[in-house]
Amino acid sequence: MAPPKAQSTSLRPYTPMPISNMAEMAELGKMIAASCMFGAKTAAEGVIIAGICHQANMSFLEFLETRHFYGGKVVMKADAMVARFNELGGTHKVMYRTADKAGIALTFNGVENAFTLTWDDVTKEPFIYRGGPEAQMLELAKPMEKRLIKDKYRTPVSRMQMMWARVVSDGVRTICPQACRGTYTPEEVSDFHEVEDSAAAPRVEKNVTPAAVKEKVAAAASAAAAPVKPAVTESAAPAVTVDPEAKPSAATPTSAAVDLNDVNVCPFGNDRTKGVRWDTMKSSWLEAALGSKSPLMTEGHRAVATALIPAAKAKEESAAKAKDAADAAAANPENAQ
């Protein structure tokens, strides 16, 4: 397998890899994945990296310095974009790099252009909020203090780095697209995924109609403006349990019969959970609900569910002891008398 004749994308001298066939490429891919140095988690991803380096006449060192394999995509680091921009004849100047504002001035072919991004700008965009496209649009409808922001945007230094990467990427690809050639930064790609920190999972696209989003946004805005109802206390929980296998009945409230914004009911799930009061659920259901990332679970819902877990466990333990006593009595009727 002869190396390509195309010129290297790097300004450094480079000696092509001695690869003569696909079997050698596959073996190299395994070693790349085993090294854990380039972001590849499988041998197939390692082969992609080896192929990119081979076809582009790029050394592994240059790939490590300038690129990364993240979420099934080859990404380019923000500092590498700026470095490549400068190599191609441009110059840059850092204007702002704080948790509240990022800005860079890029000069190319004698013309300077400034690019800025503020935290106020970012809060108006969906990508900083948790969940998929629909959940992010619902977050935008809430007051700012109630929105669920991704962890990487919640701390000053991490927020600064995320905003800086975005403003650099936007500026370089606008003024000198040949410096990045369609690649994005790792920070941007991390926001492409529907679920935070699940880059290895395939992304599922959903068709979201404007009418459906508008309806859900209006409902979320109305819910955010509504007063939060007081949570029930442990002593107020009635001694009622729910059979997980039971089907909904007239006695089992559903989402059509109750207000899902009521913090005393479960706001998500199927017909056996959605709209059902927390105080009728088993402790395992309550704990599972607390582990959910559903955007419908507010802090009020979580507070009520958490408060009811001890009472639910106590009722279950009492019921288990009563059943054991009944079974023992049935097995030994003489002792029962």
Give the other-Cβ count within 10 Å of 215's Cβ.
11
Q: Are residues 126 and 158 in the same domain?
A: yes
How confident is the model at residue 298, as a pLDDT? 87
Q: Which of 130, 160, 190 is the last residue of a domain?
A: 190
Residues 169 and 255 in one domain: no
Question: Per the domain annotation, does 154 fall within a domain?
Answer: yes
Q: Can you tell me the distance from the alpha carbon of 284 to that of 312, in angstroms, rounded to the nearest whole number?
A: 9
89 and 124 assigned to the same domain: yes
Residue 309 lies in a domain: yes
CA distances in angstroms from 150 to 26, 130, 168, 204, listed in the order given: 38, 5, 21, 19
The answer to whether residues 64 and 89 belong to one domain is: no
Residues 109 and 144 in one domain: yes
In this structure, are 101 and 185 located in the same domain? Answer: yes
Give the pair of three-digit tokens for residue 264.
């005393």
Domain residue limits at 179: 81-190
Taking the alpha carbons of 186, 192, 197, 201 in that order, is the dihedral positive or negative? Answer: negative
Same domain, 184 and 87: yes
Q: Tell me if 95 is assigned to some domain.
A: yes
Question: Encoding tokens for residue 252?
Answer: 């089992």
pLDDT in the model for residue 28: 87
Report pLDDT digits (tens) over 254-282: 444 567 778 888 888 776 788 888 899 88
pLDDT in tens, 91-110: 999 999 999 999 999 999 99
63 contact partners, CB below 8 Å, separation of at least 6: 38, 49, 52, 53
Q: Which pLDDT value is given to residue 199?
A: 37
Q: Which of 69, 101, 117 is the last residue of a domain?
A: 69
The answer to whether residue 212 is domain-embedded is no
Which of the residues in the chain have pLDDT under 70? 1-17, 193-210, 213, 217, 220-221, 223-258, 271, 333-337
Question: Which pLDDT does position 116 carry in this prediction?
Answer: 96
In a domain, 252, yes or no: yes
Is 225 domain-assigned? no
Count: domains in the chain: 3
206 occurs within a structural domain:
no
In a domain, 272, yes or no: yes
121 and 91 together in one domain: yes
